[in-house]
Amino acid sequence: MSLSLNAQDRRVLDAIAGEGPRIIDRAVAWCAINSGSRHLAGLERQRQILLDAVSVLPAAPTEIPLGHSEEIGADGRVGEQAHPPAVAVVVRPDAPLQVVLTGHYDTVYPESSLFQTVVTRADGALHGPGVADMKGGISVMLAALEAFEQHPEAHKVGYRVLLSPDEEIGSIASAPILSQFARLGHVGLTYEPALADGSLASSRKGSGNFHIVVHGKAAHAGRDFAAGHNAVIGAARIAEALHGLNGRRDGVTVNIARIDGGSPLNMVPDVAIARFNVRFPDAEAAAWFEAEVARIVAEPRHGLHVHLHGLITRGAKPFNAAQQALFGAVRDVGAMLGQDIAWKPSGGVCEGNNLFASGLPNVDTLGVRGGDIHSEAEHAWPESFVERAQLSALILMKLASGEIDGRSIHAAMTAPLETA
């Protein structure tokens, strides 16, 4: 079925255009709240504001409690990281077509960061913490849903919104909820920022975060040096072995990010932790990596005890038949708006990986256009707030009309993977 714009569609799109300043101002205000993934008080402030913001939708928001996640301290001890609840809104769960929309309200900037407010750069870009990743995206999502509710065919689409507090640290606590929501939908929309050139992310690698704790034996560095077993040396050698995995399997990268631990200079250190991330293109590569890590951890090391913590948090997201069909539909919708929608692979990961792993085809870069995320140069282009809200609203309208066949797209998840 070819796509076309009717008068009802145009009224919705015009309404969004008239809301541009509000969509931007809302995101800018949210960015002034530091909600770093481990800043619980800031996350709580942001959550309360989001509960109020999403109350404009036709169903009352709910809070979904999340469990604790494991944390390995700099002393090697295993602790727990608490997480505030996720925010959820479920609208028309009995409608014939179901859409899952996700976003996260945590950022990468800790409470101590000096990067705390949004300013406008000389080139017009909005420069601030989370303005692209992804408080701007949440504002875009909400604007699209508010406008879509005014469309006469909105009743044909139900949707589930999930806003989580832990995406930037792997979605470990929210992963079960993401999976649950994914299994109830036909297509997914996620509001990570577009790639730096405005493209969507098509295929994505998978990712895992790991910590190897090495325990040795402390000793005086002068009087009794030979009696000690140096944990820092053990961790360094393990890190070197892990780094040696790079280049051995296509698409697998292992990043040794940090070694914690140590002791005063006159003491043989008895604890150290090697922390690393892996990226991989498919399940077979992930299995190969896990076997290699198990081999490295199991190697005998005199006087040292080695313990592996962590897990693969997100599976790979290939560009299969369902993804190709969905992206093609989004490209066609964009063309109706005068937007040139392109896509390319990304080594980054997000909630879109989680949704795909549970069988939900999804586009996960429907947020604002910007760049330099995860740095103090993070920015977003103000004109993209309306552009992207209109894009999402029109996707929803075409799903409601049947011009985009969401059920067929979902059914294609079982089709063979295309390599072209």
Over the stretch 242-282, which tens digit does the pLDDT of each residue have?
999 999 999 999 999 999 999 999 999 999 999 999 999 99
The answer to whether residue 417 scores a pLDDT higher than 50 is no
The answer to whether residue 420 scores a pLDDT higher than 50 is no
pLDDT of residue 140: 98
Q: What is the pLDDT of residues 254-263, one digit of tens each?
A: 999 999 999 9
The answer to whether residue 167 scores a pLDDT higher than 70 is yes
Q: Rounded mean pLDDT of 186-196?
A: 95
Q: What is the pLDDT of residues 197-213, one digit of tens each?
A: 889 999 999 999 999 99
Peptide bond into 267 cis (omega under 30): no
Of residues 420 and 115, more confidence is placed in 115
CA–CA distance, 356 with 393 (Å, rounded to integer): 22
Q: Rounded mean pLDDT of 36-47?
A: 97
Q: What is the 3-state secondary structure (H, E, C) of the chain?
A: CCCCCCHHHHHHHHHHHHCHHHHHHHHHHHHCCCCECCCHHHHHHHHHHHHHHHHHCCCCCEEECCCCEEEECCCCCEEEECCCCEEEEEECCCCCEEEEEEEECCECCCCCCCCCCCEECCCCCEECCCCCCCHHHHHHHHHHHHHHCCCCCHHHEEEEEEEECCHHHCCCCCHHHHHHHHCCCCEEEEECCCCCCCCEEEEECEEEEEEEEEECECEECCCCHHHCECHHHHHHHHHHHHHCCCCCCCCCEEEEEEEEECCCCCEECCEEEEEEEEEECCHHHHHHHHHHHHHHHHCCCCCCEEEEEEEEEECCECCCHHHHHHHHHHHHHHHHCCCCCCEEEECCCCHHHHHHHCCCCEECECCCCEECCCCCCCEECCHHHHHHHHHHHHHHHHHHHCCCCHHHHHHHHHCCCCCC
The answer to whether residue 290 scores a pLDDT higher than 50 is yes
∠ CA 327-333-338, rounded to 5°: 120
CATH level 2 (architecture), domain 206-314: 2-Layer Sandwich (3.30)
Band (93; pLDDT cuts 50, 70, 90): very high
The answer to whether residue 415 scores a pLDDT higher than 90 is no
> pTM to 2 decimals?
0.93
Topology of the domain comprising 7-73+82-204+317-414:
Aminopeptidase (3.40.630)
Q: What is the pLDDT of residues 342-399, one digit of tens each?
A: 999 999 999 999 999 999 999 999 999 999 999 999 999 999 999 999 999 999 999 9
* Strand partners for 211: 275, 309
Question: Taking the domains of the chain in order of start, what are their residue ranges?
Answer: 7-73+82-204+317-414, 206-314
CB-based contact 231:215 (threshold 8 Å): yes
CA 249 to chain centroid, in Å, comes to 25
Q: What is the pLDDT of residues 312-323, one digit of tens each?
A: 999 999 999 999
Band (286; pLDDT cuts 50, 70, 90): very high
pLDDT of residue 418: 36
> What percentage of the chain exceeds 70 in pLDDT?
98
The answer to whether residue 233 scores a pLDDT higher than 60 is yes
Domains 7-73+82-204+317-414 and 206-314 share a fold: no
pLDDT of residue 326: 98
Band (414; pLDDT cuts 50, 70, 90): confident
